[in-house]
Structure 1
């Protein structure tokens, strides 16, 4: 079975901010505990696609991460309601990378802020060379300090009981 993951990551140390964002947008979802300055959350309903209601009420820096193991991956950054950076890589039929709207300076700054090296960043984004055993999407997520992203989406979280310290927003 192939992995399909889609999640939001709000740059904050306050888990409640993500809870409030989900509620204010008239959605339901799941909010993970803060880790490395990020609060991960997913919204119930269709797992893929970026919810306009979430973005329109975004209080700060928000990342949307998606990974489809057999197809590609994407990363979008929003400052409040403005899309400030995006990257897409698709290999469904042939390799196609869209990085002309990627703010590489922002990405580097966020990685360095986590205390991580930016070495091999370009390789991961270009899929030019093998960068280890993890997929480039995982490599970047780890560099950003995202803790919750693998096998994580509204389609596969169930009732959330598998996760510890998860806040369910109904």
Structure 2
């Protein structure tokens, strides 16, 4: 079975901010504990759609991460409701990379804030020059300090029972 993951990550140490965001946007979802200055969350409903109601109320820096093992991956970063960095890679048929709006400076800054090396960042987003063993999407998520991203989406979380300290927002 192929992995299909899609999640949001708000740059904050305050889990309550995400709970408030979900409630204010009239959504339901799951909120993970803060880790490395990020609070991961999922919104119930179609996993790969970016919810305008979430983005329109976004209080800060928000990452939407998606990875479809046999198809591609995407990383969109919002500052409030503006897209400040966007990357999409699809290899379903032919390799198609959309990175005109990719902000490598911002990504380097976020990666270095985690104490991680940003030296090979350009190659990770190129794929043609990429030689790593892990999927590039995983490398970026780990470099950014995201803890919850693998095999994670609203389609496969069930009732959240496999995660500690997860909060369901109804």
Q: Give the Å deviation of 1:131.
A: 3.8
Aligned to 1:144: 144
SS at match of 2:18: helix
- Is residue 2:91 matched to residue 1:66? no
For 1:17 and 1:151, how far apart are their aligned partners in 2? 24
Q: Return the alpha-carbon distance in structure 2 between the equivalents of residues 85 and 124 of structure 1.
A: 15
Query: Are 1:3 and 2:3 an aligned pair?
Result: yes
Corresponding position of 2:47: 47
Maintained 8 Å contact 1:120/1:131: no
Give TM-score scaled by structure 2 length: 0.98
Any idea what SS the aligned residue of 2:107 has?
helix
Residue 122 of structure 1: how far off its partner (Å)? 1.2
Q: Distance in 1 between matches of 2:16 and 2:131?
A: 36
Unaligned residue ranges in structure 2 (runs of 5+)? none
Structure-1 separation of matches of 2:56 and 2:130: 38
SS in 1 for 2:123: helix
Instruction: Within 5 Å, give how 1:1-170 maps onto structure 2.
Output: 1-170=1-170
Cα offset for 1:130?
4.2
- In the alignment, the residues of structure 1 paired with residue 36 and residue 128 of structure 2 have an alpha-carbon distance, to the nearest angstrom, of 29
Q: 2:104 touches 2:122 (CA, 8 Å); kept in 1?
A: no
Residue 8 of structure 1 aligns to a residue in which SS?
strand
Deviation at 1:84, TM superposition (A): 1.0
Q: Aligned partners of 2:119, 2:104: CA distance in 1, in Å?
A: 13
Gaps of 5+ in 1: none
